[in-house]
């Protein structure tokens, strides 16, 4: 633990102080300008109503605090030659971060149509929160950003994700006191127990207490300081408190706090890196307490504004119509003395820029915030060396996730030097049967390690914590800064991060429209312990709906795969780990599963995304009477068992078996890049034959994907319909009408003109279902012919 | 703040200690029996393989700790005559809580087929985690429970929700150290700033540190005790630490800790209730540190098990086949000396029951855990007194949520005595224009209140915190204990609680199948600040997918309403507040919206759920040429504007306007209780005419609901298709092809045999869209004919 006695108090020279204050005033001026002005940016003439935007949208309250942090980060980056990135947590902090990057020149380099001069300032102002312009929060459009400020709660997790395996990087993270109330942020503080001071960079949280949210005080700002101090120490940090409302005093205190914090960080890193200290470090956190809307109007219409929630958005709302407000705005803007800050040409004065670092050190220009620039190809092993041998389909059994564990182990091994791959999951890596990775890397853990523990390592790259939010947030931060990863999760509980993945997809969609943003590694999910094999854990663990959630989002970004066996899972995993700018959802079981395809067959099948399994059907080259389609490992098993029953009982029936790996293949070609043309779709599914589709999840999803197809009226889908409970694996499919017997009955019900004999077969199937129900009542287990079923194809 | 010097050390008599230990041993015995045995429950003969369940499923690790808490809660409830409820957070804690309620007799009263005797014990054992039996976690089936232990993170929020407005209740809450890592739990600790010691009951958290999750140590258990202590004090609590592995010592320490905690609680309550103390209270928390799998096998096959993660589930896995394991299990079970604990008839010995309270004081019998028993009808005002007057449709404008604010204010007022209604939301009550409620009740707030603050109250019943998880968790706890509430939320960010609402729906579905569970008030959402009016906040704030998520769940439980104006919102809100056992999702705007229906018309229309608006169409009693359907306020506006354009430009076209309030009406009658019959559906939508459906959310949802209808091939849906950005309100609908001009073009494209003139109209519409795009580029605002459109019907 670093000692406190190392820090010499920072003393700013007058020139330094003037420079910092000039930068901060300039940024404040620019923030106000963005919220209000569409013309007259330098106030070269008196403010008139027509200079004011018709609709005032934006958030002033958080801006002066963010500007202060930007200014002081500039100083320490420049003074110390830091490699730094900042995650800006506070919602709607756009005006400040845009101001900072316009001042440091990175904005104009990124957007040459917004130069660092009067014309550019006018554009900067006008475009803000304006149709066709830029959002009011930090967003993909913002240079230097990896964090969207729209939905709150994920800044600190993103910051840690960015710091992992970036040993030379300092990731500052401004946490608003509003955001600090969210659950994800509250547990993100514990990320310090996972940060390796040797191989990871540093995270410097700046908890900004401006006291108010939209309409309420914030919890943390109303704690007595000793209580807040205890909380942060309890989270494992050493707080450095900065409070005030006198700019010069706050500048001095903030400069000292920054230096103190960075000295402590250096000391921790040096202890760990040079002196072999392995005791958990206590990292600094800066607690910055300044008024909300600081330097804005103290009162408006007789009500206090500065230092209250009333400064959250637009402090003066009636500027266009109320001359008093207009005059007050002009006084406010002139209080920053813009004539000292900007030349007549609008360029920032040298004093304003005296604290600004150069080149890629600038917060708006760091390549870490445009992670694709730094992405190194992931070394992926030869799949043939890992694949399970399959001479004949349906003879051997493997646990698909265990097989993919061998692939992940190899990736983990081959990234030992560059450390650009992480596996995250909520305490489930072993449960999900991926534990081969432990042969190469243990689980990251900086807290105490006891002799009884297994696979915990100070330098591990497997991340386990019982928080899906942290897993997701860390991995987002990691891929946004250009590295690779996989999130393995119980299928049901990945809904915990529904909103986070939505925001990440929105980020990717927007980023793809920005030519300066380089593609980043995809965010990959391996959802296992899935709905059909949660028979023992029961109803609360049964939910296949994440796929539905993701498929509502931008087709350009989302991909969904349901590989039916071990080799197809290998092929899909290889594919998603190579891909860029996607959110890939892979659903696969961890229980023993028949091997259907050899590695070569798997490659071809997965590349097609959907295909006829001729060996499983009985169409013999002709037109089928019926199509049995399947997507997902358990539905595939039931469809093959149904095909086998049909072959035995109704041998004259021509059955086609279609397996779908890539769900988006079902969408129209016009709606998704992977969507089949009608020609392709009709070739697989026919236009007029009954299609019995056994799907892994909610059955209506398949209708939602395929409703435009010619044959849709003949499509009959079986899937999970929320009939869950604690039972046996086969009973789960029976309860949801996805079982082989039901599928055979569905075929008989839908194929016209079947022989009379079919009625007897149908009755036999119904009898089997009845017998099953009685059997599990008596034995608490599945009937042997189901549990020990084998493919005889 | 209570002083520490009031607590006299608790001294247990030998008899008390023996009784507590006997109860605990009995519970441990029953927990092991549930995991392993299907016969020979009392070990009246040597254990043989056939006594063992074929599939061993269950979680031993957490059980002894939970049993300890159950035992000691029994003691203090009995000694002090407490009205108490316990929320059992640890996942898979089923065996313990089932053991406790079987011992206190409540289990057998609830389930007479599982009597408190040898036969009942055998059933208790066999049914556990068995097909057709009970889940391995605490669940709706568990007497005394309001909290499902399947998905972790919500126990403490549920406990606070149960305590609000239950001044005589003590809600104990066991928090596992695994669950404690989740975000929702991490922020739930801050609920202490919202608990009113005068009108609310007490929450007594018991943080149970058994050290391990499935496969890892837990974060909090590996903190040095001073750091953990600081964390809990930082959260505002006074920790009482109990640690050990010697049963007698732990019993003594736990009894003293319980007495200490309850004395402190009494003191806090007395200070606030009798002495008028309003300073925020620091409530006690018990930190209980005992070994995972305590009293279970110390070692198995040479590896340590007790006190490690290896005892998480089934410590001895090979009992049926491995005679060594079988013998070890028998020794383990006999170590509890069952012959002292149960008579030959299986009934618990008097000593075992010496700590157990009577009647409704028993944890398994408290009516608070079966909240419907305590539900008092919510007084609902006369809607006519609140309704907006509507003589003619489309003349006046109101903000629907502001109007419903008046209704909520009245409800808040009429529940002042019984305090059985709460309004929750993440800092958005005012933003969502519901602030009329503040005339009656402020926002609950126990932290410092400054002169500048507005509407903060020590005794308020409006709950605002910037955590959707807390809002949801509190409200769940509140309605599960029989009270009423409403959660108002930004539509996009309600996805944050997707997984929580799934679990609540699953709870309700299961609870409805249990005749002993009385119906509870519904969980009601008012989603506003919706996708179409987040033009200014931009893409991150635009997401209408919560409806899709909810509609995947049990039709018996979920209801979705999209009232198109103020009076329909009033009618729907009145309806959902009266309802029981549902999750009701109401989506409505806060921006000024035309009033279409009078209160009487609104009542009729909402009762039907969907209907023809004859005044808006032009079919004049005949068959229509086309149906314009709409659901949601903005789509309704666009459809009416389109109808007006059609009336003007193509007066001969017979247009029917259908408005849908209740989305589940579109489902087949067989699939949802509200679903229309085909006869009804066809009557509204026809079987063969084009239907242009303007829907609030993702358009494919309507297809997913209606794909079985005869006319489905003629259904063409417009809605939000993730084309979001920062822009104007009308540009949002244009970008997503939901605008009036596009709808008119859709009509022209789909109605066969239109006059040549239609082509010119179509071109005029396309021109308007082009003109719009140019206009907003130039003005940053919508065209006046759109912004100032009026209905001329």
Q: What is the 3-state secondary structure (H, E, C) of A667-700?
A: CECCCCCCCECHHHHHHHHCCCCCEEEEECCCCH
- In order of B550, B572, B605, the CA distances from B568 in angstroms are 22, 6, 8
Q: What is the pTM of this model?
A: 0.97
- Domain boundary residue among A309, A342, A358? A358
Token couple for A622: 């002709």
Answer yes or no: do A151 and B540 touch at CB < 8 A: yes
Q: For A321-359, how does the pLDDT look when each residue is reduced to its tens digit (9 = 90+)?
A: 999 999 999 999 999 999 999 999 999 999 999 999 999
Question: Do A662 and A576 fall into the same domain?
Answer: no
3-state secondary structure of A288: strand
What does the pLDDT read at residue A92?
A: 87
Q: Is residue B3 part of a domain?
A: no
Answer yes or no: do B182 and A182 touch at CB < 8 A: no
Answer yes or no: do B186 and A182 touch at CB < 8 A: no
Average confidence (pLDDT) over B388-396 = 97
Q: For A399-457, how does the pLDDT look when each residue is reduced to its tens digit (9 = 90+)?
A: 999 999 999 999 999 999 999 999 999 998 999 999 999 999 999 999 999 999 999 99
Q: What is the C-alpha to C-alpha distance for residues A193 and A466, in angstroms, rounded to an integer? A: 13
Tell me how close the Cα of A168 comes to any Cα of chain B, in angstroms.
27
Query: Which of chain A's residues have a Cβ under 8 Å away from the Cβ of B583?
Result: none
What does the pLDDT read at residue A755?
A: 81
Answer yes or no: do B131 and A493 touch at CB < 8 A: no
Q: What are the residues whose beta carbons fall under 8 Å from the beta carbon of A84, sequence distance 6 or more?
A: A73, A76, A77, A169, A170, A171, A172, A361, A363, A366
Question: Do A413 and A347 fall into the same domain?
Answer: no
Question: Do A413 and A437 fall into the same domain?
Answer: yes
Question: Do B504 and B640 fall into the same domain?
Answer: no
Whether B69 and B301 have beta carbons less than 8 Å apart is answered as: no
Per the listing, tokens 């993440």 go with B426
The minimal CB distance from A130 to the residues B188, B450, B780 is found for: B780
Q: Which domain holds residue A696?
A: 609-787
Q: Is residue A699 part of a domain?
A: yes
Helices A247-274/A63-80 angle, 10° precision: 50
**Which residue on chain A is closest to B188 by alpha carbon?**
A183
Answer yes or no: do B181 and A190 touch at CB < 8 A: yes
Answer yes or no: do A219 and B447 touch at CB < 8 A: yes
Mean pLDDT of chain B: 96
**For residues A733, A736, A737 and A738, what is the CA-based torsion angle, rounded to 10 degrees?**
-40
Answer yes or no: do A183 and B185 touch at CB < 8 A: yes
Q: For A505-524, how does the pLDDT look when each residue is reduced to its tens digit (9 = 90+)?
A: 999 999 999 999 999 999 99
Answer yes or no: do A430 and B700 touch at CB < 8 A: no
pLDDT band, very low/low/confident/very high, at A8 (cuts 50, 70, 90): low
Whether residue B518 has pLDDT greater than 60: yes
For the domain that residue A579 is a member of, what is the CATH number?
3.40.50.970
SS (H, E, C) A733-772: HHHCCCCHHHHHHHHHHHCCCCCCHHHHHHHHHHHHHHHH
Q: Is residue A513 part of a domain?
A: yes
Whether residue B150 has pLDDT greater than 70: yes
Q: What is the C-alpha to C-alpha distance for residues B263 and B250, in angstroms, rounded to an integer? A: 19
Query: Which of chain B's residues have a Cβ under 8 Å away from the Cβ of A464?
Result: 215-216
Which position has the higher pLDDT, B8 or A28? A28
Tell me how close the Cα of A648 comes to any Cα of chain B, in angstroms.
31
Q: What is the C-alpha to C-alpha distance for residues A383 and A387, in angstroms, rounded to an integer? A: 6
Q: Is residue A370 part of a domain?
A: no
Query: Which of chain A's residues have a Cβ under 8 Å away from the Cβ of B539?
Result: 135, 139, 150, 506, 510
Average confidence (pLDDT) over B167-196 = 98
Q: Is residue A375 part of a domain?
A: no
Average confidence (pLDDT) over B715-741 = 96
Token couple for B766: 């396309």
User: Secondary structure of chain B: what % helix, strand, coil (to 5)?
Assistant: 45, 15, 40
Q: Are strands B169-176 and B83-88 parallel, antiparallel or unpaired?
A: parallel
pLDDT band, very low/low/confident/very high, at B532 (cuts 50, 70, 90): very high
Token couple for B408: 């909520």
**Number of domains composing chain B:** 3
Answer yes or no: do B150 and A450 touch at CB < 8 A: no
SS (H, E, C) A75-136: HHHHHHCCEEEEEECCCCCHHHHHHHHHHCCHHHHHCCCCCCCHHHHHHHHHHECCCCCECC
Question: Do A627 and A531 fall into the same domain?
Answer: no
Answer yes or no: do A698 and B552 touch at CB < 8 A: yes
Tell me how close the Cα of A163 comes to any Cα of chain B, in angstroms.
20
Answer yes or no: do A540 and B148 touch at CB < 8 A: yes
Q: For A198-244, how does the pLDDT look when each residue is reduced to its tens digit (9 = 90+)?
A: 999 999 999 999 999 999 999 999 999 999 999 999 999 999 999 99
Return contacts of B224-232, CB within 8 angstroms, 24+ apart: B227/A233, B227/A234, B227/A236, B228/A234, B228/B287, B229/A234, B230/A230, B230/A231, B230/A233, B230/A234, B231/A230, B231/A231, B231/A233, B231/A234, B231/A235, B232/A234, B232/B189, B232/B207, B232/B285, B232/B287
What does the pLDDT read at residue A10?
A: 83
Mean pLDDT of chain A: 96
**Which residue on chain B is closest to A444 by alpha carbon?**
B216
Query: Which of chain B's residues have a Cβ under 8 Å away from the Cβ of A178?
Result: 427, 466
What does the pLDDT read at residue A4?
A: 44
Average confidence (pLDDT) over B494-512 = 98
Answer yes or no: do B227 and A219 touch at CB < 8 A: no
Question: Do A428 and A292 fall into the same domain?
Answer: no
Answer yes or no: do B54 and A781 touch at CB < 8 A: yes
CA angle A606, A609, A611 (to 5 degrees): 95
**Which residue on chain B is closest to A194 by alpha carbon?**
B219
Query: Which of chain B's residues have a Cβ under 8 Å away from the Cβ of A188?
Result: 183
Q: What is the C-alpha to C-alpha distance for residues B121 and B296, in angstroms, rounded to an integer? A: 20
Answer yes or no: do B722 and A179 touch at CB < 8 A: no
Q: What are the residues whose beta carbons fall under 8 Å from the beta carbon of A770, sequence distance 6 or more?
A: none
Q: Is residue B377 part of a domain?
A: no
Query: Which of chain A's residues have a Cβ under 8 Å away from the Cβ of B233?
Result: 227, 230-231, 234
Q: Is residue A600 part of a domain?
A: no
Q: B60 φ, ψ to 5°?
A: -80, -40
Tell me how close the Cα of A649 comes to any Cα of chain B, in angstroms.
30
Cα first-last separation, chain B? 66
Tell me how close the Cα of A460 comes to any Cα of chain B, in angstroms.
14
Question: Do B588 and B616 fall into the same domain?
Answer: no
Answer yes or no: do B452 and A184 touch at CB < 8 A: no
Answer yes or no: do B231 and A235 touch at CB < 8 A: yes
Instruction: For chains A and B, count residue pairs whose Cβ atoms are closer than 8 Å.
Output: 340
Average confidence (pLDDT) over A164-169 = 98
Q: Is residue A417 part of a domain?
A: yes
For the domain that residue A750 is a member of, what is the CATH number?
3.40.50.920
Whether residue B2 has pLDDT greater than 90: no
Average confidence (pLDDT) over B588-610 = 97
Question: Do B289 and B410 fall into the same domain?
Answer: no
Question: Do B626 and B754 fall into the same domain?
Answer: yes
Strand-pairing partners, residue A83, are: A169
- Domain boundary residue among B593, B624, B641? B593
Whether A792 and A644 have beta carbons less than 8 Å apart is answered as: yes
Question: Do A422 and A473 fall into the same domain?
Answer: yes
The minimal CB distance from B213 to the residues A187, A427, A731 is found for: A427
Answer yes or no: do A135 and B182 touch at CB < 8 A: no
The minimal CB distance from A217 to the residues B235, B236, B453 is found for: B453
3-state secondary structure of A587: strand
Q: For A641-677, how does the pLDDT look when each residue is reduced to its tens digit (9 = 90+)?
A: 999 999 999 999 999 999 999 999 999 999 999 999 9
Strand-pairing partners, residue A490, are: A528
Q: A323 φ, ψ to 5°?
A: -60, -35
Tell me how close the Cα of B508 comes to any Cα of chain A, in angstroms.
12
Whether A216 and B245 have beta carbons less than 8 Å apart is answered as: no
CA angle A523, A510, A62 (to 5 degrees): 100
Query: Which of chain A's residues have a Cβ under 8 Å away from the Cβ of B470?
Result: 181, 183
Average confidence (pLDDT) over B16-44 = 98
Whether residue B714 has pLDDT greater than 90: yes
Q: For B87-105, how does the pLDDT look when each residue is reduced to its tens digit (9 = 90+)?
A: 999 978 999 999 999 999 9
Question: Do A206 and A168 fall into the same domain?
Answer: yes
Whether residue A2 has pLDDT greater than 50: no
Question: Do B643 and B721 fall into the same domain?
Answer: yes
CB atoms within 10 A of CB A350: 10
Per the listing, tokens 């898979």 go with B92
- Domain boundary residue among B538, B559, B593? B593
Query: Which of chain B's residues have a Cβ under 8 Å away from the Cβ of A50?
Result: none
3-state secondary structure of A640: helix
């Amino acid at each position: 633990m670093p000692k406190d006695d190392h820090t010499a108090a920072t003393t700013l020279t007058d020139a330094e102080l003037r420079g910092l204050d000039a930068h901060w005033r300039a940024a404040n001026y620019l923030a106000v300008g963005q919220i209000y002005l569409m013309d007259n940016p330098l106030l070269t003439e008196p403010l008139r109503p027509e200079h004011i935007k018709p609709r005032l949208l934006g958030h002033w309250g958080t801006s002066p605090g963010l500007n202060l942090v930007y200014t002081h980060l500039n100083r320490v980056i420049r003074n110390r030659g830091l490699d730094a990135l900042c995650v800006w947590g506070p919602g709607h902090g756009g005006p400040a971060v845009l101001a900072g990057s316009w001042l440091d020149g990175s904005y104009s380099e990124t957007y040459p149509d917004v130069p660092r001069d009067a014309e550019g300032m006018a554009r900067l102002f006008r475009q803000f929160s304006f149709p066709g312009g830029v959002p009011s929060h930090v967003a993909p459009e913002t240079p230097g950003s990896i964090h969207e400020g729209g939905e709150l709660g994920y800044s600190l997790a993103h910051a840690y994700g960015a710091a992992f395996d970036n040993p030379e990087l300092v990731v500052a993270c401004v946490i608003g006191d509003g955001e600090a109330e969210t659950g994800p942020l509250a547990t993100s503080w514990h990320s310090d127990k996972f940060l390796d001071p040797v191989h990871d960079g540093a995270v410097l949280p700046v908890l900004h207490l401006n006291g108010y949210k939209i309409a309420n005080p914030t919890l943390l700002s109303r704690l007595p300081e000793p209580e807040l101090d205890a909380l942060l120490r309890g989270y494992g940090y050493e707080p450095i408190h900065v409070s005030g409302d006198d700019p010069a005093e706050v500048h001095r205190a903030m400069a000292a706090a920054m230096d103190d914090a960075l000295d402590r960080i250096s000391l921790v890193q040096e202890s760990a890196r040079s002196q072999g200290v392995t005791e958990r470090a206590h990292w600094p956190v800066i607690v910055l307490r300044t008024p909300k809307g600081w330097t804005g109007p103290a009162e408006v219409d007789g009500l206090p504004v500065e230092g209250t929630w009333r400064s959250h958005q637009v402090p003066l709302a009636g500027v266009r119509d109320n001359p008093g407000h207009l005059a007050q705005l002009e006084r406010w803007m002139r209080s920053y003395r813009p004539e000292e800050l900007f030349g007549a040409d609008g360029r920032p004065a040298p004093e304003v820029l005296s604290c600004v670092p150069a080149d890629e050190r600038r917060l708006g220009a760091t390549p870490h915030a445009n992670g694709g620039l730094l992405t190194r190809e992931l070394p992926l092993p030869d799949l043939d060396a890992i694949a399970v041998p399959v001479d004949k389909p349906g003879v051997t059994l493997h646990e698909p996730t265990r097989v993919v564990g061998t692939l992940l182990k190899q990736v983990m091994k081959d990234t030992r030097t560059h450390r650009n791959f992480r596996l995250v999951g909520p305490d489930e890596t072993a449960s999900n049967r991926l534990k081969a990775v432990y042969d190469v890397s243990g689980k990251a853990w900086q807290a105490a390690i006891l002799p009884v523990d297994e696979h915990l390592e100070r330098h591990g790259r497997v991340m386990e914590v019982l928080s899906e939010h942290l897993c997701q947030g860390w991995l987002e931060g990691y891929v946004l800064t250009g590295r690779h990863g996989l999130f393995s999760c119980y299928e049901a509980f990945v809904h915990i991060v529904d909103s986070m993945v939505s925001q990440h997809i929105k980020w990717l969609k927007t980023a793809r429209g920005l030519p300066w943003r380089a593609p980043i590694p995809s965010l990959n999910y391996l959802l296992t312990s899935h709905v059909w094999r949660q028979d023992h854990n029961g109803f609360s663990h049964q939910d296949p709906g994440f796929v539905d959630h993701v498929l509502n989002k931008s087709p350009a970004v989302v991909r969904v795969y349901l590989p039916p066996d071990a080799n197809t899972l290998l092929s899909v995993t290889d594919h998603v780990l190579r891909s860029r700018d996607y959110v890939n959802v892979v659903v696969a079981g961890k229980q023993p599963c028949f091997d259907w395809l050899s590695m070569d067959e798997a490659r071809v099948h997965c590349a097609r995304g959907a295909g006829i399994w001729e060996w499983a059907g009985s169409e013999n080259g002709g037109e089928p009477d019926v199509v049995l389609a399947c997507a997902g490992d358990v539905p595939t098993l039931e469809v093959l068992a149904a095909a086998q029953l049909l072959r035995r009982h109704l041998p004259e029936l021509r059955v086609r078996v279609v397996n779908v790996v890539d769900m988006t293949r079902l969408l129209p070609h016009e709606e998704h890049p992977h969507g089949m043309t009608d020609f392709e779709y009709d070739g697989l599914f026919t236009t007029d034959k009954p299609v019995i589709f056994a799907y892994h999840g909610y059955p209506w999803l398949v209708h939602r994907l395929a409703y435009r197809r010619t044959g849709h009226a003949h499509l009959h889908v079986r899937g999970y319909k929320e009939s869950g409970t604690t039972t046996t694996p086969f009973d789960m499919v029976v309860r949801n009408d996805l079982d082989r017997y039901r599928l055979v009955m569905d075929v008989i019900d839908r194929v016209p003109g079947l022989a009379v004999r079919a009625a007897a077969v149908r009755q036999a199937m119904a009898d089997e279902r009845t017998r099953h129900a009685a059997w599990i009542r008596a034995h608490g287990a599945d009937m042997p012919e189901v549990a020990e079923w084998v493919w005889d194809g």
